[in-house]
Chain A
Amino acid sequence: MPETALRELTFAQAVREALAEEMRRDPRVCIFGEDVAEAGTPFKVLSGLVEEFGSERVLDTPISEAGFTGMGVGAAMTGLRPVVDIMFGDFLTLTMDQLVNQAAKVHYMSGGTWKVPMVLRTTLGATRRSAAQHSQSLHAWLCHVPGLKVAMPSTPYDAKGLLKTAIRDDNPVIFFEDKMMYKQKGAVPAEEYTIPFGLADVKREGEDITLVATSSMVEVALGAANLLEGIGISAEVIDPRTMWPLDEKTLVESAKKTSRAIVIDEGYGRYGVTGEIASVIAEGAFFNLEAPVKRMGAMHVPIPFSPPLEDVTVPTEQTVFEAARALCGKA
Chain B
Amino acid sequence: MKTITDPAKTENAVAAELGIRLYRQMVRIRLFEEQVNELYTRALMPGLAHLYIGEEAVAVGICEALKNTDYVTSTHRGHGHCLAKGATPDRMFAELLGKEAGYCRGKGGSMHIADPATGNLGANAIVGGSAGIATGAALTAKRLKTDQVAACFFGEGALGQGVLYEVMNLAALYKLPVIYVCENNLYTEYTHFSETTAGDILARGTAFGVYAESVDGQDVRAVHAVAQKLVSRARKGDGPSLLLCNTYRYTGHHVGDINREYYRSKQEEQEWKTKRDPIKNMGEWLASQKLADASVLQKLENEVREEMKIAVEFAIAAPYPGVEEVDQDVYA
Tell me which of B103, B169, B174 contacts A111 (CB under 8 A): B103
State whether B169 touches A64 (Cβ < 8 A).
Answer: yes
Given the complex of chains A and B, what is the CA–CA distance between A101 and B112 in angstroms? 12
Given the complex of chains A and B, what is the CA–CA distance between A102 and B125 in angstroms? 10
B198 beta carbon closer than 8 Å to chain A: no
Given the complex of chains A and B, what is the CA–CA distance between A80 and B132 in angstroms? 14
What are the residues of chain B within 8 A of A59 when measuring CB–CB?
174
Given the complex of chains A and B, what is the CA–CA distance between A79 and B331 in angstroms? 18
State whether A70 touches B135 (Cβ < 8 A).
Answer: yes
A308 beta carbon closer than 8 Å to chain B: no
**Known contacts A80-B139, A107-B332, A113-B114, A70 near B133 by CB under 8 Å:** yes
State whether A75 touches B114 (Cβ < 8 A).
Answer: no
Interface residues of A in 39-87 (CB under 8 A from B): 56, 59, 61-62, 64, 66-80, 82
What are the residues of chain B within 8 A of A75 when measuring CB–CB?
136-137, 139-140, 143
B329 beta carbon closer than 8 Å to chain A: yes
State whether B328 touches A97 (Cβ < 8 A).
Answer: no
What are the residues of chain B within 8 A of A111 when measuring CB–CB?
102-108, 114, 329
What are the residues of chain B within 8 A of A102 when measuring CB–CB?
124, 126, 129-130, 132-133
Which partner residue on chain B sits nearest A75 by CB separation? B136
What are the residues of chain A within 8 A of B135 when measuring CB–CB?
67, 70-71, 74
B319 beta carbon closer than 8 Å to chain A: no
Given the complex of chains A and B, what is the CA–CA distance between A322 and B134 in angstroms? 53
State whether A78 touches B122 (Cβ < 8 A).
Answer: no
A274 beta carbon closer than 8 Å to chain B: no
B170 beta carbon closer than 8 Å to chain A: yes
A193 beta carbon closer than 8 Å to chain B: no
Tell me which of A30, A101, A112, A147 contacts B105 (CB under 8 A): A112
Which stretch (B13-21, B29-37, B159-167) binds chain A? B159-167
A115 beta carbon closer than 8 Å to chain B: yes
A106 beta carbon closer than 8 Å to chain B: yes
State whether B167 touches A67 (Cβ < 8 A).
Answer: yes
What are the residues of chain A within 8 A of B108 when measuring CB–CB?
109-111
Tell me which of A69, A73, A149 contacts B331 (CB under 8 A): A149
What are the residues of chain B within 8 A of A116 when measuring CB–CB?
332
A216 beta carbon closer than 8 Å to chain B: no
Interface flags for B306-332 (1: CB within 8 Å of A; 0: not) read 000000000000000000000011111
A317 beta carbon closer than 8 Å to chain B: no
What are the residues of chain B within 8 A of A107 when measuring CB–CB?
329-332
State whether B104 touches A110 (Cβ < 8 A).
Answer: yes
Which partner residue on chain B sits nearest A147 by CB separation? B330
Count A/B pairs, Cβ under 8 Å.
Answer: 152
* Number of B residues with CB within 8 Å of any CB on chain A: 47
Indicate the member of A76, A111, A112, A115 with the most B CB atoms within 10 Å: A111
Interface size bracket, A side: 35 or more
State whether B126 touches A97 (Cβ < 8 A).
Answer: yes
Interface flags for B63-98 (1: CB within 8 Å of A; 0: not) read 000000001010000000000000000000000000
Given the complex of chains A and B, what is the CA–CA distance between A72 and B143 in angstroms? 13
B121 beta carbon closer than 8 Å to chain A: yes
B131 beta carbon closer than 8 Å to chain A: yes
Which partner residue on chain B sits nearest A80 by CB separation? B140
B244 CB to closest chain A CB (Å) equals 21
State whether B115 touches A113 (Cβ < 8 A).
Answer: yes
A contacts, CB < 8 Å to B: 28, 30, 56, 59, 61-62, 64, 66-80, 82, 97-98, 101-102, 106-117, 146-147, 149, 170-171
B contacts, CB < 8 Å to A: 71, 73, 102-108, 112, 114-116, 121-122, 124, 126, 129-141, 143-144, 146, 150, 162-163, 166-167, 169-170, 173-174, 328-332
- What are 10 A-B residue pairs whose CB atoms fall within 8 Å in the complex? A61-B170, A67-B167, A74-B135, A74-B150, A110-B116, A110-B122, A111-B104, A111-B105, A113-B104, A170-B332
Starting from the known contacts A71-B170, A111-B107, 6 additional A-B residue pairs (CB-CB under 8 Å) come to A70-B167, A74-B138, A77-B137, A102-B129, A109-B122, A114-B116
